[in-house]
């Protein structure tokens, strides 16, 4: 309770609330704050219902988060609503299970811890101090009270505690780190023969028959891109602004509406100090009244309100400031609180007032009257706002008209003439899109290649390029994929055939060499017969300079050879060469921990990864043991 009061009075919280709330709402939706008893349910988790309202709100929040993240690149057509809804419902089920497990384990978050967390968030501070106005504004903007915010925040903390408690139980021992060090520092004696691709490639000359056969067998590789050329008419909100005229009388009428609204919302504010005597678990009402009477007696005897607040108030935040709550706006702490303040003159002290927090003794230290700006002060802003509103309405109406006319028209001539728009023509583009803003738009591409538009010659639906620009298109020219002439692709076919034959020959040669080596033939003779020379690297490390990365990767995957024997394998290098690798021996690395700080960092990193896996397994186990019913849509 103290916290709630502090949240209402000491607005450290405001813009952090936005971030925290946005995150939590994306997961939980608003039903946790405002349940809808009339909404149907979509799932039941161990008897606890998840409502359709909660799911729809969560899906909406997730979609908004995606829009914010992708910005101008966001395309609603690319979102699979079914997949999104299933993902969000799964998150809701998992959250419900985790909160149930926390409750079963008697986990909780103390008011003091909650207070400290809220006060520690830098975004809730203004100039290093808790700011009430920001706090109140943010909570009102999301339709929350401080008590509701505390409830959601408490749940979120519980979930984080569970995750950190389970995932944080993982650890890596010093012995494991030493074993990792040994593996990391392991070295190997290796040798290799390099079969050069370039020599083989240059010796290959595909025949005409081979080229023709390849051309016919892989004809799909040699097709031209399917392309379209579109005509389109676009409507931009900015082009409509010149059609908006606002008279002086309309401005004055809007000014009166604006000031009337200000009078309703911008109430007078007063700087208030309080001595809170909490009721509830701490003390009953009778004990609170007795303590309040003691405070009243001391006030009557002339003792300082601020000093008494430091001694008697149960709210540690206001108490340390002599009871100062900052500037308080009417309507935020309830009617009893507001009625008491309304009767007080500056400096006057109220009788104990019973509120949702307990008994409060109040005093007003200053008042701030709401100000109403003069007409000339806001005229320019009102004009801009009214024009923007009119343009929004006009743009919406004109967009709908464009959609309607285009749907009925056989081409774009009628909508262009009727709405005064220009018919534009694009450059050819394929299913991957073009290079300009219009032809690279995902919705434009999807509509241009839609069956009705592409094959039946219909005008497209209205396409929103961005919130201030829409268009309708039709296909002017459709270029079907065609097989390119053989002469045009001959060079690429020859190159492909050379690469295929080179790879085949090198792999066959490598396999032949490995068989000879495994049969015990002298390695030097094997190399000499093939016109090759062995390259060697004794005690090569995993990142040995001068040795190809792919060769090292393969060498360190090879099985340890028996005493006095060798292991053999092959690998293809990035330039097409093939290396035949001989692994002669393996040298264990030193297991010592040289740098304790680095070892701790490595252990933390590995433990964190293992912890995430363990937590995921824990959530799966909760699901396996739970009674979960998902209601299918009719």
pLDDT at residue 38 is higher than 70: no
pLDDT at residue 12 is higher than 50: no
Rounded Cα gap, residues 106 and 85, in angstroms: 32
Phi and psi at residue 463, to the nearest 5°:
-110, 125
Rounded Cα gap, residues 101 and 7, in angstroms: 29
- Identify which has the larger pLDDT, 377 or 261: 377
Rounded Cα gap, residues 288 and 278, in angstroms: 7
For the residues 59-81, what does the mean pLDDT come to? Answer: 65
Rounded Cα gap, residues 192 and 534, in angstroms: 5
- Identify which has the larger pLDDT, 134 or 459: 459
Structure-token pair, residue 624: 């396996």
For the residues 418-441, what does the mean pLDDT come to? Answer: 92
DSSP H or E stretch at residue 614? helix 596-625
Per-residue pLDDT tens over the stretch 556-613: 999 999 988 999 999 999 999 999 999 999 999 988 887 888 888 888 888 888 888 9
Describe the crossing of helices 15-28 and 146-167 by its angle, rounded to 10 degrees: 70
Query: Which alpha helices (DSSP H) does 343-412 contain, by range?
Result: 375-408
Rounded Cα gap, residues 95 and 163, in angstroms: 11
The confidence band for 502, taking pLDDT boundaries of 50, 70 and 90, is: very high
pLDDT given for residue 81 in this prediction:
72
pLDDT at residue 283 is higher than 70: yes
pLDDT given for residue 468 in this prediction:
86
Rounded Cα gap, residues 71 and 87, in angstroms: 22
pLDDT at residue 28 is higher than 70: no
Contacts of 78 (CB under 8 A, 6+ apart): 442
% of residues, the chain, pLDDT over 70: 85
- Identify which has the larger pLDDT, 524 or 327: 524
Neighbour-count burial for 184-200, b at 16+ CB within 10 Å, e otherwise? ebbbbbbbbbbbbbeeb
Structure-token pair, residue 383: 């004009």
The confidence band for 121, taking pLDDT boundaries of 50, 70 and 90, is: low
- Identify which has the larger pLDDT, 632 or 364: 364
According to the per-residue pLDDT averaged within each range, which of 67-71, 91-95, 203-207, 373-377 is highest?
Answer: 203-207
pLDDT given for residue 2 in this prediction:
35
For the residues 520-526, what does the mean pLDDT come to? Answer: 94
pLDDT given for residue 608 in this prediction:
86
DSSP structure class, residue 462:
P
Q: Please state which CATH number belongs to domain 267-368.
A: 3.10.50.40
pLDDT given for residue 442 in this prediction:
87
DSSP structure class, residue 527:
H
DSSP structure class, residue 487:
H
Rounded Cα gap, residues 199 and 208, in angstroms: 22
pLDDT given for residue 542 in this prediction:
94
DSSP H or E stretch at residue 474? strand 469-479
Rounded Cα gap, residues 9 and 119, in angstroms: 13
DSSP structure class, residue 263:
H
* Nearest partner of 147 among 10, 3, 23, judged by Cα: 3
pLDDT at residue 499 is higher than 70: yes
Query: Which alpha helices (DSSP H) does 455-587 contain, by range?
Result: 486-518, 523-529, 549-555
Handedness of CA 491, 494, 496, 499 (dihedral sign): negative
Rounded Cα gap, residues 57 and 39, in angstroms: 12
For the chain, the residue count is 634
Q: Is 587 helix (H, G, I), strand (E, B) or coil?
A: strand
For the residues 420-424, what does the mean pLDDT come to? Answer: 95
Whether the Cβ atoms of residue 285 and residue 425 lie closer than 8 Å to each other: no
For the residues 301-311, what does the mean pLDDT come to? Answer: 91
Residue 6's Cβ-count burial label (10 Å; 0-12, 13-18, 19+) is buried
Rounded Cα gap, residues 386 and 612, in angstroms: 53
Rounded Cα gap, residues 65 and 482, in angstroms: 43
Q: Please state which CATH number belongs to domain 2-167.
A: 1.10.4030.10
Per-residue pLDDT tens over the stretch 369-407: 767 788 888 788 877 778 777 888 888 888 999 999 999
Rounded Cα gap, residues 149 and 158, in angstroms: 14
Per-residue pLDDT tens over the stretch 477-492: 999 999 999 999 999 9
* Nearest partner of 473 among 419, 401, 415, 433, judged by Cα: 415
The confidence band for 518, taking pLDDT boundaries of 50, 70 and 90, is: very high
Contacts of 468 (CB under 8 A, 6+ apart): 236, 237, 238, 395
Lowest mean pLDDT among 119-128, 204-213, 565-574: 119-128
pLDDT given for residue 5 in this prediction:
38
Whether the Cβ atoms of residue 31 and residue 54 lie closer than 8 Å to each other: yes
Distance, C-alpha 491 to centroid of its chain: 47
Structure-token pair, residue 462: 């209205």
pTM for the complete prediction? 0.50
The confidence band for 192, taking pLDDT boundaries of 50, 70 and 90, is: very high
Residue 630's Cβ-count burial label (10 Å; 0-12, 13-18, 19+) is middle
Question: Could you tell me if residue 616 is left (phi over 0), alpha (psi between -120 and 50 degrees) or otherwise beta?
Answer: alpha
* Nearest partner of 358 among 454, 292, 448, judged by Cα: 292
Residue with tokens 């929040």: 61
% of residues, the chain, pLDDT over 90: 45
Following DSSP, what letter does each residue of 5-38 receive, concatenated? HHHHHS---SHHHHHHHHHHHHHH-GGGTS--TT
Lowest mean pLDDT among 57-61, 98-102, 446-450: 57-61
pLDDT given for residue 75 in this prediction:
57
Q: Is 143 helix (H, G, I), strand (E, B) or coil?
A: coil
Per-residue pLDDT tens over the stretch 134-160: 666 555 555 556 677 778 888 888 888
Whether the Cβ atoms of residue 311 and residue 304 lie closer than 8 Å to each other: no
The confidence band for 171, taking pLDDT boundaries of 50, 70 and 90, is: confident
- Residue-range domain boundaries for the chain: 2-167, 187-204+488-587, 227-247+376-479, 267-368
């Amino acid at each position: 309770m103290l916290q709630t009061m502090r949240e209402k009075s000491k607005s450290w919280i405001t813009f952090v609330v936005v971030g925290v709330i946005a995150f939590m709402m994306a997961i939980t939706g608003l039903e946790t704050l405002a349940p809808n008893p009339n909404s149907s349910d979509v799932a039941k988790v161990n008897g606890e219902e998840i409502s359709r309202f909660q799911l729809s709100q969560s899906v909406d929040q997730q979609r908004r988060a995606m829009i914010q993240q992708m910005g101008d690149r966001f395309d609603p057509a690319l979102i699979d609503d079914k997949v999104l809804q299933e993902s969000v419902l799964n998150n809701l089920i998992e959250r419900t299970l985790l909160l149930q497990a926390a409750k079963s384990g008697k986990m909780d978050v103390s008011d003091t811890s909650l207070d400290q967390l809220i006060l520690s968030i830098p975004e809730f501070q203004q100039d290093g101090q808790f700011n009430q106005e920001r706090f109140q504004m943010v909570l009102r903007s999301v339709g929350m009270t401080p008590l509701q915010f505390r409830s959601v925040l408490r749940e979120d903390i519980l979930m984080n505690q569970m995750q950190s408690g389970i995932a944080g139980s993982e650890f890596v021992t010093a012995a494991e780190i030493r074993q990792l060090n040994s593996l990391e520092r392991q070295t190997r004696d290796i040798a290799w023969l390099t079969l050069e691709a370039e020599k083989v490639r240059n010796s290959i000359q595909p025949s005409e028959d081979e080229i023709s056969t390849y051309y016919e067998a892989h004809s799909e590789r040699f097709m031209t891109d399917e392309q379209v050329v579109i005509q389109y008419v676009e409507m931009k909100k900015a082009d409509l602004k010149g059609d908006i005229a606002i008279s002086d009388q309309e401005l004055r009428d809007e000014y009166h509406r604006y000031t009337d609204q200000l009078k309703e919302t911008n109430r007078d504010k007063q700087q208030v100090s309080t001595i809170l005597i909490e009721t509830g678990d701490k003390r009953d009402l009778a004990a609170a009244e007795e303590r309040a009477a003691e405070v009243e007696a001391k006030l009557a005897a002339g003792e300082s309100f601020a000093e008494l607040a430091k001694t008697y108030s149960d709210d540690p935040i206001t108490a340390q400031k002599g009871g100062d709550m900052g500037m308080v706006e009417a309507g935020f702490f309830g009617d009893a609180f507001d009625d008491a303040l309304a009767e007080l003159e500056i400096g006057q002290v109220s009788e104990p007032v019973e509120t949702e927090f307990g008994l409060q003794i109040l005093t007003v230290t200053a008042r701030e009257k709401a100000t109403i700006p003069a007409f000339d002060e806001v005229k320019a802003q009102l004009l801009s706002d009214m024009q923007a509103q009119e343009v929004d309405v006009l743009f919406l109406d004109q967009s709908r008209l464009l959609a309607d006319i285009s749907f009925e028209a056989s081409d774009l001539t009628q909508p262009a003439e009727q709405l005064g728009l220009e018919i534009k023509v694009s450059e050819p583009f394929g299913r991957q899109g073009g290079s300009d803003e219009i032809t690279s738009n995902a919705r434009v591409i999807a509509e241009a290649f839609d069956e009705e538009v592409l094959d039946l010659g219909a005008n497209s639906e209205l396409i929103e390029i961005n919130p201030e620009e829409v268009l309708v298109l039709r296909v002017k020219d459709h270029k079907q994929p065609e097989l390119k002439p053989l002469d045009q692709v001959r060079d690429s076919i020859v190159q492909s055939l050379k690469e295929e034959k080179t790879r085949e020959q090198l792999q066959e040669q490598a396999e032949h060499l490995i068989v000879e080596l495994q049969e015990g033939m002298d390695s030097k003779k094997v190399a000499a017969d093939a016109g090759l020379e062995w390259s060697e690297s004794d005690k090569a490390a995993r990142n040995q300079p001068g040795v190809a990365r792919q060769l090292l990767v393969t060498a360190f995957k090879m099985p340890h050879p028996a005493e006095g024997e060798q292991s053999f394998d092959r690998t293809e290098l990035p330039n097409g060469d093939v290396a035949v690798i001989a692994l002669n021996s393996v040298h264990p690395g030193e297991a010592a921990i040289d740098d304790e700080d680095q070892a701790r960092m490595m252990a933390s990193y590995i433990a964190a990864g293992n912890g995430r896996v363990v937590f995921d397994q824990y959530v799966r186990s909760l699901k396996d043991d739970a009674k979960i019913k998902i209601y299918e849509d009719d």
